[in-house]
Amino acid sequence: MRIRHFWICLTGVFFSLLGACSTPGWRGQDFDYRYADGSYPVYPGGQYGEYGVGGDGARHLDPWLSGTQPGQRLVLGFFDHNYNGRIGVDRAGEANRWFRRFADRDHDLRITDDEINRALIALDRKLRQRGL
């Protein structure tokens, strides 16, 4: 009985790990969220360049993080670990992945304009509650 229980548990752990490792979508892939004409969408509340995220990773941020106040406050408040207004490429990737997960309400690994707008509004509210 103990041997059978051991193999059942081991099989469950194996398939759990296999499922976690093979989940598509958020494994560091950089998606390009442009319209068919090559332009990026513009989101409400974006006074562009007011906060100014700098560093090597700034150009790797998604446009809704680099071009809106809530996005810039998120990046500078939680992903700028040196508090110098500059982020690296790895931190930009972390910020992009965090926001994509936060915005993907229906968990289909795609974020729509509506999901992005709702996430930016919710993010702005949460950041204001924290004083950022």
Total domains present in the chain? 1
Q: Report if residue 124 sits inside a domain.
A: yes
- Exposed / middle / buried, residue 10 (Cβ in 10 Å: 0-12, 13-18, 19+): exposed
Q: Report if residue 99 sits inside a domain.
A: yes
Q: Report if residue 12 sits inside a domain.
A: no
Tell me if residue 89 falls in helix, strand or coil.
helix
Q: Report if residue 28 sits inside a domain.
A: no
Dump pLDDT digits (tens) for 1-52. 566 666 666 676 666 665 555 544 444 455 555 555 655 555 444 434 344 7
Read off the amino acid at residue 16: S
- The boundaries of the domain holding residue 118 are 51-132
Dump pLDDT digits (tens) for 54-93. 888 888 999 889 888 899 989 988 998 887 888 889 999 9
